[in-house]
Amino acid sequence: MDPFDTCPSHSVEVLRAVVEYLTNHFRVVGLRELVARRHERVPLAAITFDDGWRDTYDVAFPLLREFGVPATVFVTTGKIGSYQGFWQQVLGDMFRHAVVQGDAAAAQTLRKLIGAPQDSQFTAAHYRQTVIQWKGLPRHERARKIATLLAEHPDDSPGPRCFLSVAEIKEMHSAGIEFGSHTVHHELLDACPADRLDYELAESKAQIEAIVGDRVESIAYPNGNFSELVVSRSEALGYQMGCTVERRRIGVRENVLTLPRVEPEWDCPWGEACFDERGFVMRIR
């Protein structure tokens, strides 16, 4: 885990252990099949990836092929082919400059945007606190802060492309990977005005359908945030499955528009997967 990136991620070794565990203990199917068969007394599992990062193609896709298992990838359509991360990564880069490289100008810009005292010093913890605070800001206010940040410190050496390209999405889809929506702008949907909500849901769905030439039936709500309105509009606009980040197993009577999921943990001393009070918890050493 990068201390200046709040996006959950795992090493390829962890991913391999997870897929290995799942194939040994469950029948790994696509999300569509999992939902359709949730009443059966068969141990089924579906694998999902959020955001549409490029390493879903570079790292996960070959592994999924090796094990012969399907998966669903939830794509943020506004980021397809992008060289720039979400605002969390842009902010993380600025903190990294200030904290690790001792960039005084970057630190000064951050102090101004955060409203921190003149001589305050930053740590990785400040980065995580700021992400939490900025998540609660109105979209335009946050966008203004990020624009100021980029204007004062233009990124003149963009790194490698960090999100999936259209060609990669097409190739994965041809190989049996399902694609779902993760909105256009990774918006927290429960905080969106009604017209914005409909746009994020409908536009992302249309964009992915145009790329893969197939119906898009699922969505993963960014940050797991949803409300009654989010669910009803998702359903009205043609989604049949919605994924949250509530951590437990899918029940027989589950509302398929608010499906729970489990995220691999990797801090368990015995490196095992097990069941606990929350349901299935995977723990990787």
| Residue pair 87/142 in contact by the 8 Å Cβ criterion | yes
Closer residue to Zn ion, CB minimum distance, 46 or 189: 189
| Least Cβ distance, residue 182 to Zn ion (angstroms) | 6
Q: Does 5 bind Zn ion (CB under 5 A)?
A: no
Site string for Zn ion, 208-227 (x = CB under 5 A): --------------x-----
Q: Does 93 bind Zn ion (CB under 5 A)?
A: no
Q: Does 200 bind Zn ion (CB under 5 A)?
A: no
Q: Count the Cβ atoms, other than its own, within 10 Å of residue 57.
A: 20
Q: Does 51 bind Zn ion (CB under 5 A)?
A: yes
Q: Which stretch binds Zn ion (CB under 5 A): 44-52, 104-112, 256-264, 274-282?
A: 44-52
Q: Does 50 bind Zn ion (CB under 5 A)?
A: yes
Closer residue to Zn ion, CB minimum distance, 5 or 50: 50
For β-strands 279-282 and 273-276, DSSP reports them as antiparallel
For residue 173, the SS3 value is: helix
Closer residue to Zn ion, CB minimum distance, 79 or 97: 79
Closer residue to Zn ion, CB minimum distance, 30 or 85: 85
| Least Cβ distance, residue 79 to Zn ion (angstroms) | 10
Distance CA 268, CA 18 (A): 13
| Least Cβ distance, residue 264 to Zn ion (angstroms) | 16
What are the start-end ranges of the E strands in the chain? 27-28, 44-45, 48-51, 72-75, 178-181, 218-220, 241-247, 259-261, 273-276, 279-282
Beta-sheet strand order (sheet of 218-220)? 48-51, 72-75, 178-181, 218-220, 241-247, 259-261
**Helix 194-212 / helix 166-174 crossing angle, nearest 10 deg:** 60
| Least Cβ distance, residue 224 to Zn ion (angstroms) | 9
Total residues contacting Zn ion by CB under 5 A comes to 3
**Cα R_g (the chain), whole angstroms:** 20
Closer residue to Zn ion, CB minimum distance, 51 or 168: 51
Binding site for Zn ion (CB under 5 A): 50-51, 222
